[in-house]
Amino acid sequence: MNPRTIVLGSWGVAAAIITAQWVTSNQQGFPPPGRYLASGVVFSMLYLLAGPAPSLGAALAAGTTFAMLVQPYLKGKPGILDQSAQWLGTLSGQPRTG
């Protein structure tokens, strides 16, 4: 697989994580644009790195996305997977439990 494709896919997953965290946090309005801008800067640099150092750029992009998923769990807080499951449960009519 093309390393730049991995970087772009990781960037899309990061944007999905940012959006899902905002939606499941029960806050009004749209997510702050700074969150997307920051991820855009990081993944743009990784995309450029994937040219001269393809394996390194792809590995750092995938690792960054994995760290976004795992970080809340390492802190002992509910992560994006728990939040999304709870949000989907409330959409399907289950009572909120926490």
For 51-69, what is each residue's pLDDT tens digit? 999 999 999 999 999 999 8
Q: Is residue 76 in a domain? A: yes
Percentage of the chain exceeding pLDDT 70 = 97
- 67: domain range? 3-91
Backbone angles phi, psi at 31, to 5 degrees: -65, 150
Q: Is residue 67 in a domain? A: yes
Q: How many structural domains does the chain have? A: 1
Q: Is residue 98 in a domain? A: no
Residue 47 CA to residue 13 CA, distance in Å, equals 15
Q: Is residue 16 in a domain? A: yes
Q: Is residue 96 in a domain? A: no
Q: The pTM is what?
A: 0.80
